[in-house]
Structure 1
Amino acid sequence: MKRILFSVVLLSSYCFSQESDSLTFNDSKKPDSAKTLNKKEIKTKNIDDVVITGTIKPISRSKSPVAVEIYSQKYFQKNPTPNIFEAIAMVNGVKPQLNCSVCNTGDIHINGLEGPYTMILIDGMPIVSSLSTVYGLSGIPNSLVDRIEVVKGPASSLYGSEAMGGVINIITKNALTAPKLSVDVMTTSWAENNIDFSTKFNLGKNVASLLSLNYFNSTKRFDENNDNFTDAALQNRISVFNKWNFQRKENRLASFALRYLYEDRFGGEMQWNKSYRGSDEVYGENIYTNRVEAFGVYQWPMKENIVTQFSYNFHDQNSFYGNNPFVARQKVAFTQTYWDKKLGNHDLIVGATFKRTFYDDNTAGTLSSDGLINEPMKSPILGLFIQDQWEINEKNTLLLGYRFDYDKIHHAVHSPRFAWKFSPNPYHTLRFNFGTGFRVVNLFTEDHAALTGSRDVVIKSDLKPERSINGNLNYISKIPVGDKLLNLDASAFYTYFSNKIVGDFDTDHQKIIYDNLQGYGISRGASLNIDYSFSFPLTVNLGVTYLDVYQKFDGNNEKSQQLHAPKWSGTYNLTYRFRNNVTVDFTGQFYGPMRLPVLPDDYRPEYSPFYNLANIQISKSFKSGFEVYGGIKNVFNFTPKDPLMRPFDPFDKNVNDPVNNPNHYTFDTTYGYAPMQKIRGFLGVRYTLK
């Protein structure tokens, strides 16, 4: 069972793109480093951007006691992708992990922690949860995005269960300020076709509506590694989004949004067609997804600042993994009301949340303890939270938070939080965050390996909620270089897990055995981001992350490294702008060796090689609003070797053949760690009418 216990404010009227702002000083208050700049205006990025994710209310990024990273839609357009799942790879320390080499479903890892530890929000609402952590991420088109806010580290006092590793908040466009018309059409040499269309219209002076349509189609089959399986899953997907924003007196908030998603996804043997769906003749993984989302915010018409938020999502899943069916349905309703009060130097927020989840599927996860009766999960959860942000003086800000959740199964759950920001001058900022986290698991919606049929799932005992204690230290330095600033953003983090729920892939190669860890888990590491704009039109953004994620079992001093958590990883983004509105972007990610789920006596390496996924794009914009772009993805043509075990026997009909299979290998889809798509070209055109 998996629940999201959280609270976050939807402030859709605050939609700012990532642009350059100016930092200036009065002569009498200039630090010595600024005096050397001959009073020139210093350019820096995002110093006054408004963020909401870290502290539940709008606050200048430079004043937030919680470190928040901001990425605009333009940033992700440097490497155009059809969905957020692929685009988020451009963020240092965030990795979209493919969990299946056949159907290419996956989740998003922050600082090496698996996808279920990442809370993903749309306009601050728990839209992406449970089933959609695996099946819905690729259905969120980039056309919806105004900006994305990323918080790395604990946030359970605000967001609840899944926020043990971090939060990704997708802020959608505001209908009041969105362009009148926006069109983006892209195709690739692998026959991936993507269309984004959005338009807005006004009803009077105070009401605006944004209508967005995304269609993605990829139906051509490729098998470049000759294993008779599709290298990339075929997809036919449509997403329709409609958002209403209302202009009210005193800028009070009011918005409402609806989204519908349909996807038909297939991966499997090249000769598969719909007639083989559910059979054991030709292997295919075919997933139908129907999803409806609704969410909104309303600020009460009164003197006190009281805001109510609400969301609802319905997810219907109809899938076959070979001849193994997975049919599931989920309904989640959520509401939250909070009171925001300014008391001297204290910003006080007090709120309450209520969430009701219905979940049912055809697996053992929803059976009674005796295995005889189907028992869908019906889980009402009540939450209360309080937060005090105290601006002690211009240099010091303190944040204290506490959350209390209660449900009928796990009873009371407590989540405290502490954050401190020290900024002696505009060039240096130190932030320290400490908090506890918890997580309750629904294995069958989180671990794709449990659904493929390639391994049996065994639950050894009643699973207890995971607990964590987390600390995060962040330092930002802005170093004057000429009339520019070199921006450094460094972080160190440490998380201690108890009752960690782990899947044992090693004891029995035909099973995944789940149990609470008899021992503890550690996630620790450090990251560094550097960005600088040269005096000539070159901008460089570099990021590197070091991770050490492992478990230790009672009575055993040896580390068990976390699967799919590379020790080293990083991102790079180089942009050169020519005078004739031509821009060249060179972007990519690199990953060091990561531990992979191998079988006993596996001939494949237990650790992946170092690899680099690079892309280059050339674009030209015109005054008429058109922009043409094109380039190459996966420039260095990297793909994993042997991602599937025994692809010629996917139904394990010849496992016990002593001559041809003396090691009793079974068909396995979990080894893949990177996309199988080789080098390919792309071409697109955008048009924006403001």
Structure 2
Amino acid sequence: MFKKYILILFGFTALHAQTAKINGRVTDGKTGILAATVLIEGLNLLAVADENGNYIIENIPAGSYEVIAASVGYSTLRQKFTILDGETQTLDFKLQQDDESLDEVVITGTMKEVSRMDSPIPVEIITPKLFKKNPTASLFEAVGMINGVQPQLNCNVCNTGDIHINGMEGPYTMILIDGMPIVSALSTVYGLSGIPNSIVERIEVVKGPASSLYGSEAMGGIINVITKAPYKAPLVSADYFFTSWGEHSLDAAVKINAGKAKSLLGINYFNYQVKADKNHDNFTDVTQQNRISIFNKWDFEREENRQASIAGRYVYEDRWGGEMDWTPAFRGSDSIYGESIYTQRAEVIGLYQLPTAERIFTQFSYNWHNQDSYYGTTPYMATQQVAFVQAYWDKQFGDNHTFLLGAAFRYTHYDDNTPGTANENGVNRPQETPLPGVFIQDEWTLNERHKLLGGYRFDYDKNHGGVHSPRVAYKFSPNQHNTLRASFGTGFRVVNLFTEDHAALTGSRDVVIAEELKPERSLNGNLNYVLKIPTDAFVLGLDATAFYSYFTNKIVGDFDTDPTKIIYDNLNGHAISQGLSLNTDLTFNFPLKVMAGISYMDVFQMEENENGSLQRTQQLHAPKWSGNYVATYSFPNNYSIDLTGNWYGPMRLPILPNDYRPEYSPWFLTANIQATKKFDNGLEFYGGVKNIFDFVPGDPLMRPFDPFDQHVNDPVNNPNGYTFDTTYNYASMQGRRVFLGVRYNLF
């Protein structure tokens, strides 16, 4: 059982002995809302409601304030009140369900809890309620429901992929779990696979560089997976679905109470063992996968509501793709082609608030990632370990300044079987990369309408030296219906060359670094405008953003100048990512809700050619136009229908010299439909169709009949010298499929 309330004090106001307080109940009109937050703005006093929706906030100085009540999946309520010394007031809140347009507390933009509406940094959110409208077996696919975020498959055989934000490649996206940067480099393609959906509270996305708080790799943006606090979770939850293609996905969690500690144990299991070859090229259309992930998080009750938690995750996956008659007996052989990847991963993350009057937090994480793989006859064996520790001081100065000061240290150990981790004599030499840094931030509330944020970070890399990353953000809210945000900042990335180009770094090529490489840098600016239009018939929300990023020192590998070498150098030029995005959400006074987004982006690089002039090259897999939509209609008796989909304009694809395949993909749309029936006992059934219009690309593999390139030198049958190629990809080869599932939640 929960205590009557959980109270978390922010700031230093607890030193002043005040007796005024407010209490009350947060409900949906019928029942209390567990873990709803009640925040007194300006004082940064926050209470979390118990299982009955009851809350209490004490030690309130006399004065006039605005209180904010919020919860995931509900609209936010604001109410002004005036309180005297020694007075007790009762304030009750009735929240309306609002699954898609959320305004709850977020942390990613500023590394601390703040109302999404009040954050000077724009943060986009998806919650389980949203991505359950199109159920997926991993969060890798789920994040595609955010406009401008593109899950991109990079190989048609092994189906590994990464996340693109505003057209920038996967290595420019930092993936966090509970604010810890534990997914990077070697593990990027597995970062969002195998995280149990049942333990996810929400996913927060910040687009554009955020290096002043999070350091290297946060150049393109951040995806922060916020896991549920055990006290917020149901006692038992389970979600199982299967598809007509033979996929099986199970997601389950259980809450455990152990005295002053509470635990959440989650498991995710995905299995797909049906070989499909719909395009008759003798290769699997979708990789066979067998994956299990176990997650366990503990929260500890401490005096004065100080925070302490620790969590761990283990992932094992066996995946393979290749010729239809491949079996594990042919792993690494040259008779039947297959790509087989065994992956093991272990993670530990923790948070501990020091027992001091000041709010000082320490965070730590460690992850171990092992990959045992064969790409045809080419082995790739790699191990990566990343340790991270961080401490920061969260301080309120007066009524207007919220201050953050911290230091961080990340250590990366990487080893593989390629020339990338060997010295000039061929002796194995694992890479060791220490990266210390310090950061500072101040959020200055000028008045009710104006807020200014300034931040700065300094990191030191043993190869690149000191790296400076400042940023500034401004928010103007003339009223509750209009909000304007503007921000400018820099980003940087200390590149681990060989974990990103491992497929090319096999064999006997010599690795040549042409010059002392500089860290990749970026300058970024964006302008965000949010408008809410309430009418008698509907409520319309508009969220428009213009973004521009200028990248220098981009590190590229030259594989063509000398076939015996890979030459690494900084780009002799610059790269640009620019564009516009618009998100809309429309809630009618009848039970229909619609969300839609559209993005235009232009991502390219300008490089000096042999004539000394700049030559423009469009970024691969970065469509200029893209968008998504979600529409939900609710019927009586807890029936509902969801329509979801994504569409993409032409994107540039990797082609071979004299390739007969088009360099740009066509316009295409993937659409899905789902029907759901919910019962009052926590049970619900759902089913639908994915990829309704059965869109699949053409034949993406080059020369699938000769995967070992045994006959490429045949001038009669192969006059263009084509080689086996798996990288020509812009959409999944998985066509239309029916799915059925069941969910259960017991509180």
TM-score by length of 1: 0.92
Instruction: Kindly indicate whether residue 377 of structure 2 is the aligned counterpart of residue 335 of structure 1.
Output: no
Instruction: Kindly indicate whether residue 434 of structure 2 is the aligned counterpart of residue 380 of structure 1.
Output: yes
Hey, what's the Cα distance between the residues in 2 that align with 1:682 and 1:456?
47
Q: Secondary structure at the match of 1:194?
A: strand
Alignment match, 2:494: 440
Counterpart pick for 1:90 among 122, 145, 168? 145
Q: Secondary structure at the match of 2:193?
A: helix
Hey, what's the Cα distance between the residues in 2 that align with 1:378 and 1:480?
56
Instruction: Kindly indicate whether residue 332 of structure 2 is the aligned counterpart of residue 278 of structure 1.
Output: yes
The higher radius of gyration belongs to 2
Hey, what's the Cα distance between the residues in 1 that align with 2:704 and 2:422?
32
Alignment match, 2:88: none
Conserved? CA contact 2:73–2:97, under 8 Å: no
Counterpart pick for 2:603 among 524, 549, 566? 549
Instruction: Kindly indicate whether residue 520 of structure 2 is the aligned counterpart of residue 466 of structure 1.
Output: yes
Alignment match, 1:618: 675
Q: Secondary structure at the match of 1:559?
A: strand
Letter of the 2:401 partner, please give it. Answer: H
Shift of 1:457: 8.9
Counterpart pick for 1:683 among 734, 737, 740? 740
Conserved? CA contact 1:509–1:599, under 8 Å: no
Residues 1:457 and 1:643: Cα distance change in structure 2 (over 3 Å): farther
Alignment match, 1:36: none
Letter of the 1:578 partner, please give it. Answer: F
Deviation per CA, 1:538-559, whole angstroms, max 9, x where unpaired? 1000000001000111233442
Deviation per CA, 1:58-107, whole angstroms, max 9, x where unpaired? 11111111001121111010000010101111110000000100000000
Hey, what's the Cα distance between the residues in 2 that align with 1:481 and 1:507?
63
Hey, what's the Cα distance between the residues in 1 that align with 2:373 and 2:429?
20
Deviation per CA, 1:475-521, whole angstroms, max 9, x where unpaired? 10111222642100000000001111235688899998653211110
Shift of 1:142: 2.0
Deviation per CA, 1:143-194, whole angstroms, max 9, x where unpaired? 2211000101110001111111110100011111210000111101111101
Conserved? CA contact 1:450–1:457, under 8 Å: no
Alignment match, 1:559: 616
Counterpart pick for 1:630 among 687, 702, 707? 687
Counterpart pick for 2:583 among 529, 541, 553? 529
Deviation per CA, 1:204-223, whole angstroms, max 9, x where unpaired? 2x311111111111011000
Alignment match, 1:415: 469
Letter of the 2:670 partner, please give it. Answer: L
Q: Please, what is the CA RMSD of the aligned residues?
A: 2.4
Alignment match, 1:30: none
Residues 1:346 and 1:611: Cα distance change in structure 2 (over 3 Å): same
Hey, what's the Cα distance between the residues in 2 that align with 1:121 and 1:288?
23
Hey, what's the Cα distance between the residues in 1 that align with 2:464 and 2:138?
36
Hey, what's the Cα distance between the residues in 2 that align with 1:386 and 1:223?
54
Conserved? CA contact 2:591–2:633, under 8 Å: yes
Deviation per CA, 1:606-632, whole angstroms, max 9, x where unpaired? 000001111111110111211101111
Hey, what's the Cα distance between the residues in 2 that align with 1:294 and 1:43?
35
Letter of the 1:389 partner, please give it. Answer: E
| Matched ranges for 1:215-614 at <5 A | 215-344=269-398, 345-368=400-423, 370=424, 372-447=426-501, 450=504, 461-462=514-515, 463-482=517-536, 484-503=538-557, 514-554=568-608, 555-614=612-671
TM-score by length of 2: 0.85
Residues 1:395 and 1:297: Cα distance change in structure 2 (over 3 Å): same
Unaligned runs of 5+ in 1: 1-8, 28-39
Counterpart pick for 2:206 among 151, 154, 157? 151
Instruction: Kindly indicate whether residue 186 of structure 2 is the aligned counterpart of residue 186 of structure 1.
Output: no
Hey, what's the Cα distance between the residues in 2 that align with 1:382 and 1:509?
37
Hey, what's the Cα distance between the residues in 2 that align with 1:511 and 1:633?
45
Conserved? CA contact 1:141–1:214, under 8 Å: yes
Shift of 1:419: 0.7
Hey, what's the Cα distance between the residues in 1 that align with 2:597 and 2:567?
36
Residues 1:42 and 1:507: Cα distance change in structure 2 (over 3 Å): farther
Alignment match, 2:721: 664
Letter of the 2:235 partner, please give it. Answer: K
Q: How many residues align?
A: 665
Hey, what's the Cα distance between the residues in 1 that align with 2:258 and 2:371?
37
Shift of 1:443: 3.5
Q: Secondary structure at the match of 1:139?
A: coil
Alignment match, 1:640: 697
Shift of 1:447: 4.3
Shift of 1:48: 4.4
Letter of the 2:368 partner, please give it. Answer: F
Hey, what's the Cα distance between the residues in 2 that align with 1:73 and 1:294?
23
Structure number with the bigger relative contact order (C-alpha 8 A, sep ≥ 6) is: 1
Hey, what's the Cα distance between the residues in 2 that align with 1:147 and 1:120?
14
Residues 1:513 and 1:483: Cα distance change in structure 2 (over 3 Å): farther
Shift of 1:441: 1.9
Shift of 1:339: 0.5
Alignment match, 1:58: 113
Hey, what's the Cα distance between the residues in 1 that align with 2:376 and 2:733?
20
Alignment match, 2:707: 650
Deviation per CA, 1:385-433, whole angstroms, max 9, x where unpaired? 1111111111111111111111322221111111111111111111111
- Identity, in percent, stands at 63
Shift of 1:380: 1.8
Conserved? CA contact 1:53–1:169, under 8 Å: yes
Residues 1:420 and 1:118: Cα distance change in structure 2 (over 3 Å): same
Q: Secondary structure at the match of 2:518?
A: coil
Hey, what's the Cα distance between the residues in 1 that align with 2:446 and 2:502?
48
Conserved? CA contact 1:400–1:417, under 8 Å: yes
Hey, what's the Cα distance between the residues in 2 that align with 1:235 and 1:416?
43
Unaligned runs of 5+ in 2: 1-9, 11-34, 38-47, 49-69, 82-93
Hey, what's the Cα distance between the residues in 2 that align with 1:438 and 1:519?
16
Letter of the 1:51 partner, please give it. Answer: V
Deviation per CA, 1:595-650, whole angstroms, max 9, x where unpaired? 00111110000000001111111110111211101111111111111211111111
Alignment match, 2:181: 126
